[in-house]
Amino acid sequence: MTLDHRLLSLLVCPACKGPLELRRDAESRPLELVCAADRLAYPVRDGIPVMLEGEARSLAEAPQAGGEAPQAGSDAPQASSDARAGEP
């Protein structure tokens, strides 16, 4: 067990010096350290957190499932068959 709460409290985001949230996988192994302010996730490799901005994963660019749900039916483009514009 390399990561515990005591160690975690010492770890801050290298970008904003803010607190980090430890995420674990399904087997409760440390997965990544998330900075909510920067929306960055720093990977944990073999129990060792990699506190490098260049190694961090951007959460903003890769939203989790359930982010944008397309609205059904409301904004369907109306296709008019008899008024075509820009036909060659």
Residues 11 and 56: beta-carbon distance below 8 Å: no
Closest CB to Zn ion among residues 26, 52: 52
- Give me the least distance between CB of 24 and Zn ion, in Å please: 20
- Give me the least distance between CB of 82 and Zn ion, in Å please: 56
Q: Comparing C-alpha atoms, which of 38, 36, 44 is closest to residue 15?
A: 38
- Give me the least distance between CB of 34 and Zn ion, in Å please: 9
Residues lying near Zn ion in the complex (CB under 5 A) are found at 13, 15-16, 18, 35, 37-38
Instruction: Show the tokens assigned to 13.
Output: 């985001």
Give the number of residues written for the chain. Answer: 88
Closest CB to Zn ion among residues 18, 63: 18
By beta-carbon distance, which residue lies closest to Zn ion? Answer: 13
Closest CB to Zn ion among residues 13, 41: 13
